[in-house]
Amino acid sequence: MLAAYAGSVCSDSRNVIYMGMTMDTPNQVIDQRREKLLRDYAAGKVSWSTLRRRGFDDYVAVLGGLGALGLRPPVAPLEGVNRAARERGRALLRRALARQVSS
């Protein structure tokens, strides 16, 4: 895009400015897209598989990104065919944590 523009171009660390107009740099656009994906994930609008398809290779990076934005991972509602198994898993974790705290 820069090579195709014949007018004067200046840039600072954040933006490229064309004739008084400010345009986001490619890195800013990517960061904005990643932030939107993380916000959508936290809100339950997109899934982990969607994040993987869109460039998040590591769930730890997702957790770090959510933390940097002050967000938490989504919690799936406790419904459906897996409800009993999920309740047992949560109870198991609660007991293990309680034993660890009391030790």
In a domain, 16, yes or no: no
- Is 1 among the domain residues? no
Domain that holds residue 73: 26-102
What pairing do the DSSP bridges indicate for beta strands 15-18 and 9-11?
Answer: antiparallel
Assigned domain for 53 exists: yes
Report the pLDDT value the prediction gives residue 37, as an integer from 0 to 100. 94
| Long-range interactions of 41-49: CB distance < 8 A, separation 24+ | 41/66, 41/73, 41/74, 42/66, 42/69, 42/71, 42/72, 42/73, 42/74, 43/74, 44/74
Q: What is the pLDDT of residues 14-72, one digit of tens each?
A: 444 444 555 556 566 668 899 999 999 999 899 989 999 999 988 999 999 999 999 99
For residues 64-87, give the mean pLDDT. Answer: 86
Which pLDDT band holds residue 78 (cuts at 50, 70, 90)? confident
Residue 9 forms part of a structural domain = no
Q: How many domains is the chain built from?
A: 1
| 86 located within any domain | yes
Q: Is residue 55 part of a domain?
A: yes
Q: Does the predicted TM-score (pTM) go above 0.75?
A: no
